[in-house]
Amino acid sequence: MTTAYSDDGGAHGVAIGDTRARWVARHPLASLIIAIVVVFLLWLILAPWPLGFTQVFGSKRLFVTALFNGITLGGLYFFVASGFTLIFGLMRNINLAHGSLYLFGGYIGYEITQWTGSWLFSYVVAFVCCGIIGVAMQVLIFRRMEGQDLRQTLVTLALSIIFSDLMLWIWGGNAYQIDAPDYLYGPLPTPIVVFVRSNGHAIFLRYPSVRIAIFLAAVVIGVAMWLIINRTRIGTMIRAGVDDRDMLSVLGYRVQLIFVLVFAFGAGLAGMGGIVGGTFQSISLGEDTHFLLASLQVVIVGGMGSIPGAALGALIIGCAEQFGQVYFQHYAVMGTFVIMVLVLAIRPQGLLGKR
Amino acid sequence: MALTQTTEPEQFGLEPAQRTTAFARWVAENWLLLLLGLLLLLLPAVAGEFVLTQIVGWSLDLGLIALSLMLLAGYGGMVSLVQMTVASVAGYTLTILGASSITAISLFWPWWVAAPLAIAVAVLFGAFAGILSARTEGIYTIMITLAIAAAFFYLTLQNYAIFNGFNGFTRIPAPKFWGIDWNEAVPLYYLILFFAAVGYLVVFYISRAAFGLALQGVRDNPRRMEAIGYNVTAHRVAAYAFAALIAGVGGILMVWLNHQISPGTAGIQATIYLLVVAVVGGVSHPIGAFVGAFIFVLLRTFALDALIAVGLDGRRFQLLIGIGFLIIMLFSPDGVVGLWRRWAARVRGNGNGERNVS
């Protein structure tokens, strides 16, 4: 079973637009449906809603806010799940301690922002701290049980139990909120009309700027990861390792070094995700399982071991959660679950995963 | 996957001389088991209510649920994290159809309607989880079953109409029939012991029966089994359904034993602890599930006092469990049963001590 980070064209250096055009030509019906959905969504977001629409679906403000919350939550999920999927793609072990790394990053971020007052600096510290833990896990434990993926996964489970209790010991059961810096404080006006008053005065949506900034950061990181993996030498090595680890090692590349790097990077991303989560919502005990499960769902839906899949999955799961909370309160969980079941039934390898 | 590759001594296909030693070994092992059975049967004569229900009874019941995981992980190579959920599905169904203090939800049907229906629902649920995860291989199973378990947990937590949300159900009575009140400690203990013994024997039988052997073949090499004409997915789903039967019975006994059920019963932590129980005990032999459960229950009951006695914080139970699990995974991936086997082999000095080391 192999997984790849890019579509075939990317691997051979062919322009991506080309492969996309080929995909459209090969799947005319699917492309048409996607196009219609996209146009409809754009209309929903940009146009003022007709009255009948509002009566059925509630106010447009509710819908657009849920959508934005979903997309930004997807950005947060991407932070966590992309490292998870990267580690899984290369090492074939499921890092069940990934949620703990997220939570640890959040606590570290809280301490550092409290101590130095610098929100951005806390990202660096959290990345480094969680990266070091990742390196330690890889060097001290996983290297000893090379190729035994189930045993490695159970070890990560044991570590997650230990970490979560240690964090309970240190930080207690309280929830911590990380304060965003002043320049990201407060709402940002957007050019989206949510409501037109009877006197013709349009009301625009105002949205927390910190969420927008973080979503943009997630996009930047996603694109950077994609570029590194598809356009650089180390990325080529990672992709080769995903496809055939043994052959890469036979060719004389230092697979162990790549493993350590990827593990450190994935763990560091999870730690940064913790700060993002602490700024978005709050950091408390139990969030580790929450984000581990979110990562699982994202990866199952998006495709196991695929970075674009993680992005798509994160968007879908994030939106499904937010819309579920707004429109079907008591069955919100079932929304993401049904999506997961559908994907597993139709494409067990995930939407963008490869067999 | 070293964890699931058992190295059971093959009973057939051996030379006659070897067969006698194999038979002797079999007797030696069963002699211990028979003694254990006798002890368990006679326990109510000496033990008080607390030991009977909260320690041994709960160990046997937890062991029964862990046994369903052992069947899937040990013989099928599928580490399913959904077994505690299956048990909880049975428990919740029994409570919703049967009696509880929440009169607005419970339907108060007689137990002999509610219990079989609850088991049937659990089997359907288990088979459904099996269908979802059996199409993918190995390591994905953990991921998918964990996601299913989490979905059920959050559903019970959020939903008040059917599952009564965070509070769950309390004061669920065990039934009264044959003139016996099964809420009493001794009858309940014997009921649990009976089902635990039946579960153990059935799983042990299955490991030698055609279905179990085929399942172990699927575990070791699904592609080859497919090639000889076995339906791999059907075997896996059937294993899930059968494991759900065991877990469902365990779930009903659990509700009768604890008289309550809440989302925590099916929680992520409970799910993970069940895996810890099965793995620490050892998934290569059915007895491992019960051994693991007994160790776990002892730890859970006495860790608080023990930790305080050595001057540590009594709340660090979770840390203890985690470290114990880590040590077992690092040094004896086939659990206590594997340790025992190696130790026994070393004592016997037949040089087989390293057979189970992976």
A337 to chain B, any CB pair closer than 8 A? The answer is yes
Distance from CA of B158 to the nearest CA of A (A): 6
- % of chain A surpassing 90 pLDDT: 10
Q: Between A197 and B75, where is the model more confident?
A: B75
Q: Which of A48-62, A86-100, B276-290 has the highest mean pLDDT?
A: B276-290
User: Has residue A6 got a pLDDT over 60?
Assistant: no
Indicate if ipTM > 0.90: no
The tens digit of pLDDT for each residue in A329-352 reads 777 777 888 888 888 878 888 888
Task: Give the 3-state secondary structure of residue A206.
Answer: strand
Q: Between A94, A164, A300, which is nearest B139 by CB? A: A94
For residue B14, the model assigns a pLDDT of 55
Distances (CA, A) of A178 to A117, A276, A278, A351, B117: 10, 9, 5, 34, 49
User: Has residue B146 got a pLDDT over 70?
Assistant: yes
The tens digit of pLDDT for each residue in B195-214 reads 998 999 899 898 888 888 98
Task: Give the 3-state secondary structure of residue A351.
Answer: coil
For residue B225, the model assigns a pLDDT of 87
> CB neighbours (10 Å) of residue B346?
13
pTM assigned to the model: 0.81
A355 to chain B, any CB pair closer than 8 A? The answer is no
Q: Tell me B10's DSSP state.
A: P
Report, as an integer, the average pLDDT of B202-230: 88
Q: Between B277 and A187, where is the model more confident?
A: B277
Report, as an integer, the average pLDDT of A312-323: 90
Report, as an integer, the average pLDDT of B232-250: 91
What angle, 0 to 180 degrees and rounded to 10, lies between the N-to-C axes of helices B58-70 and B287-309?
130
Q: Between B212 and A21, where is the model more confident?
A: B212
- Could you give the dihedral angle defined by the CA atoms of residues B213, B218, B224 and B225, in that order, rounded to the nearest 10 degrees? 60
Tokens of A56: 């059925």
Angle CA B314–B317–B319, to nearest 5:
120
Q: Which of B65-69, B113-117, B130-134, B312-316 has the highest mean pLDDT?
A: B65-69
For residue B18, the model assigns a pLDDT of 66
- % of chain A surpassing 70 pLDDT: 88
Question: Is residue B297 a contact partner of residue B58, using CB atoms and an 8 Å limit?
Answer: yes
H helices present in B283-353, as ranges:
287-309, 317-331, 335-348
H helices present in A12-59, as ranges:
16-26, 28-46, 51-57
Q: Between A127 and A18, where is the model more confident?
A: A127
For residue A91, the model assigns a pLDDT of 75
A345 to chain B, any CB pair closer than 8 A? The answer is yes
For residue A185, the model assigns a pLDDT of 74
- The backbone torsions φ and ψ at residue B14, rounded to the nearest 5 degrees and listed phi first, read -105, 160
A342 to chain B, any CB pair closer than 8 A? The answer is no
Task: Give the 3-state secondary structure of residue B284.
Answer: coil
Report, as an integer, the average pLDDT of B128-152: 83
A interface test, pick of B5, B152, B153, B158 with most A CB neighbours within 10 Å = B158
Mean pLDDT of chain A: 81
The tens digit of pLDDT for each residue in A74-83 reads 998 998 898 8
Report, as an integer, the average pLDDT of A199-225: 82
Distance from CA of B172 to the nearest CA of A (A): 25
Q: Round to whole Å and give the CA distance between B79 and A334.
A: 24
Q: Round to whole Å and give the CA distance between A269 and B130.
A: 33
Q: How confident is the model at residue A16 (pLDDT cuts 50, 70, 90)?
A: low
Question: What sign results for the dihedral spanned by CA atoms B116, B117, B122, B126?
Answer: positive
Report, as an integer, the average pLDDT of A95-110: 90
Interface of B with A (CB under 8 A): 1-4, 79, 132-133, 135-140, 142-144, 146-148, 150-151, 154-155, 158-161, 268, 272, 275-276, 279, 313, 316, 318-319, 321-323, 325-326, 329-330, 333, 358
A136 to chain B, any CB pair closer than 8 A? The answer is no
For residue A9, the model assigns a pLDDT of 40
Distance from CA of B285 to the nearest CA of A (A): 18
Report, as an integer, the average pLDDT of A37-56: 74
Report, as an integer, the average pLDDT of A175-203: 75
- The backbone torsions φ and ψ at residue A191, rounded to the nearest 5 degrees and listed phi first, read -80, 25
Task: Give the 3-state secondary structure of residue B181.
Answer: strand
- % of chain B surpassing 70 pLDDT: 89
Find the closest chain A residue to B162 by CA distance. Answer: A330
User: Has residue B77 got a pLDDT over 90?
Assistant: no
Q: How confident is the model at residue B65 (pLDDT cuts 50, 70, 90)?
A: very high
Q: Contact B146/A161, CB-based, under 8 Å?
A: no
How many alpha carbons lie under 13 Å from residue B201 in its C-beta half-sphere? 9
Q: Round to whole Å and give the CA distance between A265 and A79.
A: 11
For residue B314, the model assigns a pLDDT of 66
Q: How confident is the model at residue B13 (pLDDT cuts 50, 70, 90)?
A: low
Q: Contact A94/B275, CB-based, under 8 Å?
A: no
